[in-house]
Chains A and B, each alone.
Chain A
Amino acid sequence: MPRKLPPKPPHEPTDDAPHAGGALPRDGQAGQAGQAGQAGHHVAFAQQFVQALPHCVALGITLEGVGDGKAVLAMPYQEALIGDPETGVIHGGAVSVLMDTCSGAAVMSHPRAGISTATLDLRIDYMRPAVPGKTITAQAECYHVTRTVAFVRATANDGTSETPVASATGAFTVGRAPTAHKTGDTA
């Protein structure tokens, strides 16, 4: 699944992003270091990036895999995240954070992605409660990218059933460098 990163523009401010949800601006330095098909570099860079997001650190979210418009992130069970004290089930809000971050990572790993992304909208359906004590793993796929918008679907599962805990669909911004607008895809 992991793929090499396309050549990166130099690091630029991403002020055009209206929102930081799942925002994963590409880092020029890491991009150059990850050239020449060093797929491992890509995951390592993305992992580093997720670990640089304070809210993901607070939730213990880690990146398990990324590349070609897909991402896998995991969130271990933590008592602080309980939403229902009677059952010990994790609060939906924590699942939202996992889904949002995973979706943003999937967008950034798409071959036609821009230099940054932000969540425009995200819908989450909670299909069943997550089993207490289990790590929740989210898988997101960016299935279409236009010049300006990326479309994502994602599921979250705790590994106890075929039925996901939750599913999500979202639209994300595609942040382009000013020169990239004419061709759409500079790769």
Chain B
Amino acid sequence: MTRQPPEPVQVIKSRRDAALAALLGRVPYINFMGVQFDRRGDELTAILPFKESLIGNPALPALHGGATAAFLEITAIIELGWAAVWPQIEGGTPPDAVPLNLPKTIDITVDYLRTGLPRDAYARAFVTRSGRRYASVRMEAWQDNRARPFAQATGHFLMPDQSRTQG
């Protein structure tokens, strides 16, 4: 019985990171907002590094509620797009051959729980259900304290055709 030796960890990591970078690099608005993603295995945490141009209320100062909504929406879209390409990345498909279609937002409802402070924010998206066509996603954003989110959201997304291949 022959058995393939496991891939070196660097090879796996660089393939996953390249696929994630390719996903993010396609969307100019993600770059405009400055959103980054921290990857641990398949788990993603979105990071919104603070910058002056995210301020919505200079008097407090506080993050713009729209920027918070945008941050959560980006988190959900990338989470869904990432989950869709993960099986192919793990199957050894080269990152540049993986189709990178992102889902489209149908609706999003954002609850503002407390003021977004002028500092870095983090977010995660939890895919409650992902069907062939529609996905339902819950999002949560926090700053200093994970247990005290400053915004949460739920949204529905239209899945791209190519993600159906994951079967």
Contacts and interface: CB of A to CB of B under 8 A. Distances in A.
Interface of A: 13-15, 17-23, 25, 52-58, 79-85, 90-94, 96-101, 104, 118-126, 129
B98 interface: no
Contacts of A123: 107-110
Nearest to B151: A19
A23 B56 CA distance: 7
Contacts of A58: 32, 53-54
Contact of A120 (B66, B112, B116): B112
A81 B65 CA distance: 17
Interface string B27-46: 11101110000000000000
A85 B65 contact: no
A53 B65 contact: no
Contact of A97 (B61, B70, B111): B70
A137 B56 CA distance: 19
A84 B59 CA distance: 34
B113 interface: yes
A58 B54 CA distance: 8
A15 B61 CA distance: 10
Contacts of B67: 55, 93, 97
A122 B107 CA distance: 11
A83 B107 contact: no
B15 interface: no
Contact of B70 (A53, A94, A125, A129): A94
Interface residues of B, number: 45
Contacts of A54: 52-56, 58, 64
B29 to A, nearest CB: 4
Interface of B: 26-29, 31-33, 52-71, 73-74, 102, 104-116, 150-151
B107 A81 contact: no
A121 B109 contact: yes
A30 to B, nearest CB: 13
A92 B61 CA distance: 24
Contact of A125 (B107, B110, B112): B107
B53 A57 contact: yes
Nearest to B154: A123
Given A19-B116, A55-B54, A14 B59 contact: yes
A98 B106 CA distance: 17
Contacts of A104: 65
23 contacts: A17-B115, A18-B112, A19-B65, A19-B116, A19-B150, A22-B66, A25-B59, A52-B58, A53-B55, A54-B55, A55-B54, A55-B56, A58-B54, A81-B28, A81-B32, A82-B29, A93-B67, A93-B71, A97-B70, A101-B56, A121-B109, A122-B65, A123-B110
A80 B111 contact: no
B116 A85 contact: no
Contact of A93 (B58, B74, B106): B74
Nearest to B62: A20
A98 B114 CA distance: 20
B114 A18 contact: yes
Contacts of A23: 56-57, 59-60, 62, 65
